[in-house]
Structure formats: structure tokens, C-alpha cells
Amino acid sequence: MNELLDLYWTFARIGAVTFGGGYAMLPILERELVDKRHWTTMDDLRDYFSIGQCTPGIIALNVSTFIGEKRRGVRGALAATVGFLTFPIIIILLIALFLTNFAQLEIVQHAFAGIRVCVCVLILQAVLRLWKKSVVDPFTLGLYLAVFALNAFSGLVLPFKIPTAVLVILAGAVGVLVSGRKNRGARKEGEGK
């Protein structure tokens, strides 16, 4: 029981100081979980992150679930995950309560118009950061361009907009097909020699 509370509170504290999403979380996790508490190793943490990056859901949450599960099974996973969610939910609810009264003010609207510009840049930078690991060859570049075009413009050209979920499933399927053919090609080449 004590360890469950410990898991909950540790991840609640981590959730309270993690700004900017999963990628900003790694150094904090390293300090809290590897150096201070020895709950996991740096290698395991990297693996959790790389799996979290390619499975559905929020990366930081996936990592919390992984470490909770490793410590105390399913109950540990739930304690860590709910812990991680606690402060972000409370803080956003407070802001939402507060902002409904102020969102109409002219000064607030000017501030948000300025902030939106910053958000464009932050998204662009996130794309640039992820680019290297994701767009690695002509096939992945083509897939990037195709999905971008379909996601951004399919509603303009076609009578309907292709749902995002359909694009995700198609991209995964195409990835399996193309990498499978590549692997077979590589094996044949190896046999030829």
C-alpha cells in the first residue's frame, strides 16, 4: 500500500513540473527515477520512451504506466498514471474556470493572438526535432508528403475529408508492406553472395 502511495505521489510531483510534454520529461525522470530512487535504469527508460513514441497515447503517460507496472503490476501502473494526471487536470480546470470570465477581454484576445504566433513556431520546431528519426529515406519522405497532403487538403479536393484514424492505420499497413519487402530483398542479396 505504501509503495502504491509512493508511486502515486512521485508521479504526481513529476507531472506538476513537466512543461512542454513528453520530450521535456526525460531529464526529470532520469534524475527522479534512476539517480534518486533506483526504480529503473537509464537503458530501460530509453526503451520505454522509444516504445511510448510509437504506441498510441501520450508519451509521458506511457512511460508512467510502464514504470508503475514494473514496480507493482497493474495497480502500480494505475497509481503512477493517475498520479501523473492529477496536477495537470487540476491546473487546467482552474485556468479554464478563470479564463471563461476573461477570454472576452480585448487585452486577453491580443495576448492570445500573439501567443498563437509562438505556437506556430513551437509546432514547426517539434516537427524539425522529430524529422531526423522519422523521415529516413525516400519512402518515408514520400509517405510524409502524401499523409500531409491528404490530411491538410483532402477536404478541398474530394467531396469528403479522409479521417485521421484511417490515415494512421493505412500508414502502419504501408510501413509493414514496404519494410517486409526490403527485408526479403536484403535476405536474397545475402543468399546470392
Q: Looking only at residues 17 through 56 of this chain, which bind another protein when binding is defined by CB under 8 A?
A: 17-23, 25, 47, 51-56
* Cα–Cα dist 132/4, whole Å: 38
Nearer to another protein, 5 or 183 (CB): 183
Q: How far from 85 is each of 9, 56, 58, 82, 146, CA to CA, in Å?
A: 11, 17, 11, 5, 35
Using the rule CB under 8 A, is 69 a contact of another protein? yes
Neighbours of 68 (CB within 10 A): 27
Give the residue, chosen from 9, 31, 35, 91, that forms a contact with another protein under the rule CB under 8 A: 91
* Cα–Cα dist 61/84, whole Å: 7
Nearer to another protein, 130 or 158 (CB): 130
* Cα–Cα dist 44/49, whole Å: 9
Nearer to another protein, 5 or 92 (CB): 92
> Nearest distance from residue 82's CB to another protein, in Å?
8
Residue at grid coordinates 542479396 = 189
**Interface mask toward another protein for 120-159; x: CB under 8 A:** xxxxxxxx--xx-xxx----xx-xxxxxx--xx-------
> Nearest distance from residue 193's CB to another protein, in Å?
21
- Enumerate residues 6+ apart whose C-beta is below 8 A from 48: 40, 62, 63, 66, 67
Give the residue, chosen from 5, 42, 89, 158, that forms a contact with another protein under the rule CB under 8 A: 89
Give the residue, chosen from 4, 16, 26, 34, that forms a contact with another protein under the rule CB under 8 A: 16
> Nearest distance from residue 36's CB to another protein, in Å?
19
Nearer to another protein, 6 or 84 (CB): 84
Burial environment of residue 8 by CB neighbours within 10 A (0 to 12, 13 to 18, 19 or more):
buried
> Nearest distance from residue 99's CB to another protein, in Å?
8
Using the rule CB under 8 A, is 165 a contact of another protein? yes
> Nearest distance from residue 2's CB to another protein, in Å?
22
* Cα–Cα dist 60/15, whole Å: 9
